[in-house]
Structure 1
Amino acid sequence: MSGSSRTLAARFADALRKAVARLADWTRKTLRVARWEAARTAGVFDRKTAGAAFAAALLVGAFGAAALSTGGAGVALDENIYRVGIAADSPYYDAVAESPPLAARPPDEAALRDGEIDALVRGNEVEPADSERGRAAAAAYRSAVQSYNDRRMLAEENQSAAFPVVVEIRYADRGGASGGSAATDAGSDTDSSGGDSADSDQSPNAESGSGASDGTGGSAGADEPSDGEGDGALAVPDVGGSGALFGGQSSGSPADIAPPFPFGSLVLAFAFLVPVNFVVQSYGSTMLNERINRRGELLLVAPLSPTSIVAGKTLPYALAILGVTTLIAALVGGGLLSVAAVFPLALAYLAATFVGAMFARSFKELTFVTVALSVFLTTYAFVPAIFTDVTPIALISPLTLVVRDLQGAAVSAGEYAFATGSFYFGSGVLFLLGVGVYREEDLFTQRSVPLKFLDALDSRLSGKRSVAVLSALFIPFVFVAELLTVAVLFALPVQLSMPLLLASIAAVEEFAKSVHVYAGFEKNRFERSVPTAVVLGSLSAVGFFAGEKVTAVVQLVGLPELALGRAAFATSGLPGIGPAGAVGLLLAPLLLHVVTASLTAIGASRNRLLYVASLVVAVAVHTFYNLAVVVTLA
């Protein structure tokens, strides 16, 4: 080995040793701050506070356990709201007595006329009171009898006779050639009364060999009142089945098929996110305490870097959230995937709360900021998870991974990265911005939230090239905003949702490309001239364009198969356009970004009013470009 090679290797080894030593020193200081924070937080909780927190935790756990164990049947907000007059010896009495919305009362025609009861059962007929409430009571009665008979037939040993027709639902892509498939399985006893009653129109007076009346459950028929249509309209979702927690049934008798219902997502959002909010609120309070009466000044003068201080003060709360999430996952039957799915969402809560605590001037302002952030993140996690069994849209929510984990479904590495990647990167950027204002000139001053936001952006600008870097770092937030927009507009008609989507995308992207440029001009970091503005706008456009290519990950989960997904995240051009056309389609977005970002930068170099005006113009130009691309690719 030559002397120069030995010297290069020695320099590399020396640099590596120094890096390891700095990392070890940073870790040691961070852990020391974490121990201080954990001891200080533990000392704050007196017996009353600890008791209240324990009671709240028990309440959350009891609600979640009850909801999970009953699949929603235990949440009976409509219990005993309809009074039904029915004789105790009626074959339908048990059906009424077991139905939560119904309350059995003695049959009395005078009580029906006086409004003391809402419906009266005479034999096989039900007579409602002459009111909306009465008609609703009659409908609830029919549904109760239907559900009662279904439960009886489910207990029948010969299921082919009980349910001669079985329907299996398979969800197809929106706009596909078919909406699903149905498979029928006729049992050996299809010529029995059960087969006749299953396929025939029924009236309130229809009777067959079994049902609510005889108590035998021996044949396939059902002695049930109906509305005369015989199309299963009286059926209600079976919220007690094995798949009830996560939506409607995928198979069963035609009358039992129900569309997916987001009860499971609601329970999961409550079970996981509410305890996280308790920890996050405590974290926000301790961070804001550092700014009250200059309590954090001792940490600033200590031989500690802002990153080690923030990391040390955050670590105990992150570990607490990890422990709570693990406990909840174990209680609901989840595994490591559930914990790994919820943790990045909780990390985003911590990061957003930290930034809010750095920007807020009082606990009242911090409460407003944290509530707004919590509502946004909870909406982002809950709304897409409604469509868990319907569309790839659901995969933008980490709660969808939890649902799949509890269902035993497989989740690929690409799907996990798609659902959680934005939260990991976004949390890192938020902490980076918050650390930028963890300094005396910002920590102990009473500046408004918008001004603190500009300070945070300016703290990360060290030159013109840093504008491009910051634009690329904003991609996770742009990605999250666009995904949430797709999820919100998904249910609307394409003719309405498409223009709204394109305009929203344009507004989000133009703001992300220009707000840090405006901060730089406001802090007099850059010269207020048109050439400088054009250079900064071009650099911002290039950085944003480079980071934007990360959105190709949507191909992994099939979002481009949706019309809105193709419009929001199109990454390919027209088929058969050739190399020249492909290059043109690749450079066209870059040219658009350069033009619009330069326009907003020129406005930002003047004043706030011209910046807002130029931003509106840039959004309009971007929207028209998006519309032209969608029409061309359609």
Structure 2
Amino acid sequence: MRPRKLLRIARWEATKGVGGFDRGAVAVIVAAATFVLAVGFVGITGGVALEDGIYRVGVAEDSGYHDPVAEDPAFVAVDPDPDAIEGGRIVDDRYDLYIEDRPSGARIYLAESGGEPTGKSRAALAALRQSIDRYNDRRMFEEPNGTAAFPVVVTIRYVERGGTETVAIGEAGGDGENGTETGSERDGNGTGSGGSDAEGRQEPSDGAGGTSSGGDSADGTDGRIGAPSLGAFDLFGTDETAGTPSDIQPPFPFQSLVLAFLFVLPLNFLIQAYGSSMLSERLDRRGELLLVAPVDRSDIVLGKTLPYVLVSVAITVVIVGVLWALGGEAGALSVLAVVPLSLLFLATTFLGAMFARSFKELTFVTVTITTVLTSYAFVPAIFAETSPVAFVSPLTLVIKDLTAASVTPGQFAFATGPPTLVAAICFLFGFGVYREEDLFTQRAIPHKVLDALASRIHRPRSVACVVVLLVPFVFVAELLVVVVLFALPVAVSIPLVFVSIAVIEELAKGLPIYAGFVHARYGRSLPVTLAVGAAAGVGFFLAEKVTLAVQLVGLPGSRVADAAFQTGLGSADPTVVALLAFAPLGLHVLTSTLSALGASRGRSTFVVGLVSAVLVHLAYNVAVVSRLV
């Protein structure tokens, strides 16, 4: 690699890219930027109201329930019509709920269908209860004597697990005999919610009520998700929250998730330009000039990729700067976390551009890449506050940075290492097909995949090196399987994990074997076939031992991860760990040999051999791993 030539190619790519923008491209860029800003605005402001006016409530203006209904945008207060009630039921379809004030108390009627309350009326009743609680809370917060309004107040601060800091759970105070009661009586003007009578009508209480989980806290923010504010206020809801005991809810970084998604969204547009540039070099045969120039293929590819990497880093820095200016905690960690994602997006797009035969095919490839990689980045990050499985995605590091949470070096390596390694291997396989035979010929995508694999195979033992290179792909795919399935019941997730792992691993061993036979990298005799199968099995076995670090660093104590990576660490039995450390050697040699025997005779028999290998692998998982893990 020669840096001077690489930088010159990067300058050409940047100049060509800027000069190639027409009005349509500028319009797309403007639209994309507008969309990103709109998503950011939604994340900062806490979302858009999708439930405004969906429930219609018949309530009189002089009713004690009118103000809670009128102040909640989900409700529309409709003038009550006495004729709407017949036989204790609503007969007018204008109402979802109907509140009838009586001397003995108010009665709430629910709209019915077939003699039973409708689903919408039940949802309206639940929303009304929460609205009443929030209304009562707001009235209590207006009281000058806060201790009298809320005799018991619980203050919670969330700290990292394993910390030694002692946190005060709560404090109580107040005057009078009810000062230690958790559920305090509202005053005579308060409004409460009660139970329903035997006829299905809601019978509200006349003053007693606790605070709802959706109640507003004293500082006017939503206590459940830490709704953000601007400037010096808590943008991401990470400070202490104060309120009544019923305000306590588990932390969920909603705004942080939305804002973290902003870091990934520009990559989806960036790879479109990158993939189009790479494919144009092939279709217009402009890349032929560089291929005959005294420049290494790696210099050409990396030089063309460098401008897009720098643009992705610049966009990330701008986003971090804006969030920091708004009072967020985003910093260098967010930038470092997005770089591996950027490389992964670009590397897979480069490989897709090498395989695609037209812009139509490239569109399909890039949409697939966008969907899969966005899921890989975003889905694990949802569990950032609940499970270490979240560190499968580098986006979790961004969320931790946004919420000012600490990240260990092991967690950082676990989150960024696999995508970086997969990106490097994608570029490596792309180098194998960045040649005239593949660039300027209309070969089908499966054929080019086999070309990329075969470019690294020269003799039977070379297949082991290619299988080792595919192990990072297997690792990332298995991590994604763990993320998707770990929340399911163990009785469901473990069998699905066994099936997924068997398919993923056998494909990773079988495809390089088949590619070598298709390109005649070795003979088809029985001794050679057995040698190829053994080499693939041993190579995979040695490479997968790296996954021992998964539970030691990233996923300790997870049964689904233990079933996926079969380390046995979850059992805490040295005998089990030792057995699962060496038993897979025989399994991988056997199954890869089955694939090799099929591949040596043709495509149809390869499919038969591959299916046989998957079934043997699955039987091993069920018979051995399920009993030991």
Give 1:439's aligned residue.
435
Give 2:38's aligned residue.
62
Give 1:272's aligned residue.
263
1:224 to 184, 192, 208: 192
| Greater alpha carbon shift after TM alignment, 381-390 vs 402-411 | 381-390
TM-score, scaled relative to structure 1: 0.83
Give the secondary-structure state (helix, strand or coil) at the position aligned to 1:486.
helix
Cα distance in 2 for partners of 1:463, 1:52 equals 49
Measured after TM superposition, the shift of residue 369 of structure 1 is 1.1
Is 1:145 the equivalent of 2:132? yes
Measured after TM superposition, the shift of residue 171 of structure 1 is 11
Measured after TM superposition, the shift of residue 309 of structure 1 is 1.0
Q: Which segments of 5 or more consecutive residues in structure 2 lack a partner in the other structure? A: 85-89, 113-117, 162-166, 197-203, 229-235
Change in Cα spacing, 1:601 to 1:252, as seen in structure 2 (3 Å) is: farther
| Greater alpha carbon shift after TM alignment, 476-485 vs 94-103 | 94-103
Give the secondary-structure state (helix, strand or coil) at the position aligned to 1:287.
helix
Measured after TM superposition, the shift of residue 617 of structure 1 is 1.6
Give 2:172's aligned residue.
186
Cα distance in 2 for partners of 1:373, 1:484 equals 14
| Greater alpha carbon shift after TM alignment, 457-466 vs 354-363 | 457-466
Measured after TM superposition, the shift of residue 519 of structure 1 is 0.3
Question: 1:346-385 CA distances to partner (integer Å, 9 max, x unpaired)?
Answer: 2111111111111111111111111111111111122222
Give 1:208's aligned residue.
186
| Greater alpha carbon shift after TM alignment, 556-565 vs 542-551 | 556-565
Give the secondary-structure state (helix, strand or coil) at the position aligned to 1:79.
coil
Give 1:127's aligned residue.
109
Change in Cα spacing, 1:28 to 1:396, as seen in structure 2 (3 Å) is: same
2:400 to 360, 380, 404: 404
Cα distance in 2 for partners of 1:552, 1:160 equals 57
Give 2:183's aligned residue.
199
Greater helix proportion: 1
Measured after TM superposition, the shift of residue 86 of structure 1 is 3.5
1:384 to 380, 386, 390: 380
Is 1:78 the equivalent of 2:51? yes
Residues 120 and 128 in structure 1, CA contact (< 8 A), matched pair in contact too = yes
Is 1:28 the equivalent of 2:4? yes
Amino acid at match of 1:187: G
1:45 to 21, 41, 66: 21
Q: How does 1:155-304 map to 2 (within 5 A)?
A: 158=146, 162=150, 164=152, 166=154, 183=169, 185-189=171-175, 191-192=177-178, 198-199=182-183, 208-209=186-187, 213=189, 223-227=191-195, 235-236=213-214, 240-241=222-223, 243-244=226-227, 253-258=244-249, 263-264=254-255, 266-268=257-259, 270-304=261-295
Measured after TM superposition, the shift of residue 273 of structure 1 is 1.9
Residues 337 and 401 in structure 1, CA contact (< 8 A), matched pair in contact too = yes
Q: How does 1:515-534 map to 2 (within 5 A)?
A: 515-534=511-530
Question: 1:35-72 CA distances to partner (integer Å, 9 max, x unpaired)?
Answer: 1111111112234532442243123213312322x3x3
Is 1:331 the equivalent of 2:304? no
Give 2:596's aligned residue.
601
Cα distance in 2 for partners of 1:233, 1:161 equals 12
Residues 604 and 610 in structure 1, CA contact (< 8 A), matched pair in contact too = yes
1:591 to 559, 564, 586: 586
TM-score, scaled relative to structure 2: 0.84
Cα distance in 2 for partners of 1:106, 1:417 equals 62
Change in Cα spacing, 1:243 to 1:628, as seen in structure 2 (3 Å) is: farther
Change in Cα spacing, 1:401 to 1:135, as seen in structure 2 (3 Å) is: same
Residues 161 and 187 in structure 1, CA contact (< 8 A), matched pair in contact too = no
Question: 1:321-364 CA distances to partner (integer Å, 9 max, x unpaired)?
Answer: 11112222333331111121122112111111111111111111
Is 1:624 the equivalent of 2:615? no
Measured after TM superposition, the shift of residue 479 of structure 1 is 0.9
Residues 139 and 234 in structure 1, CA contact (< 8 A), matched pair in contact too = no
Give 2:305's aligned residue.
314
| Greater alpha carbon shift after TM alignment, 333-342 vs 518-527 | 333-342
Amino acid at match of 1:132: G
Cα distance in 2 for partners of 1:336, 1:600 equals 47
Is 1:614 the equivalent of 2:609? yes
Q: Give the number of aligned pairs.
A: 580
Cα distance in 2 for partners of 1:491, 1:534 equals 41
Question: 1:202-237 CA distances to partner (integer Å, 9 max, x unpaired)?
Answer: xxxxx7317xx4xxxxxxxx5222446999796448
Give 2:449's aligned residue.
453
Cα distance in 2 for partners of 1:478, 1:605 equals 24
Measured after TM superposition, the shift of residue 429 of structure 1 is 0.6
Amino acid at match of 1:304: V
Change in Cα spacing, 1:30 to 1:182, as seen in structure 2 (3 Å) is: same
Cα distance in 1 for partners of 2:625, 2:253 equals 32
Q: How does 1:419-434 map to 2 (within 5 A)?
A: 419-434=415-430
Cα distance in 2 for partners of 1:163, 1:232 equals 12
Cα distance in 1 for partners of 2:241, 2:564 equals 31
Residues 551 and 561 in structure 2, CA contact (< 8 A), matched pair in contact too = no
Change in Cα spacing, 1:407 to 1:117, as seen in structure 2 (3 Å) is: same
Residues 425 and 476 in structure 1, CA contact (< 8 A), matched pair in contact too = yes
Measured after TM superposition, the shift of residue 285 of structure 1 is 0.9
Residues 54 and 76 in structure 2, CA contact (< 8 A), matched pair in contact too = yes
Identity %: 51
| Greater alpha carbon shift after TM alignment, 409-418 vs 620-629 | 620-629
Give 2:93's aligned residue.
115
Cα distance in 2 for partners of 1:347, 1:89 equals 64
Give the secondary-structure state (helix, strand or coil) at the position aligned to 1:290.
helix
Residues 171 and 390 in structure 1, CA contact (< 8 A), matched pair in contact too = no
Give 2:72's aligned residue.
99
| Aligned CA-pair RMSD | 3.2
Measured after TM superposition, the shift of residue 172 of structure 1 is 12
Q: How does 1:501-580 map to 2 (within 5 A)?
A: 501-557=497-553, 559-572=555-568
2:351 to 340, 355, 358: 355
Cα distance in 1 for partners of 2:530, 2:212 equals 66
Cα distance in 2 for partners of 1:337, 1:190 equals 52
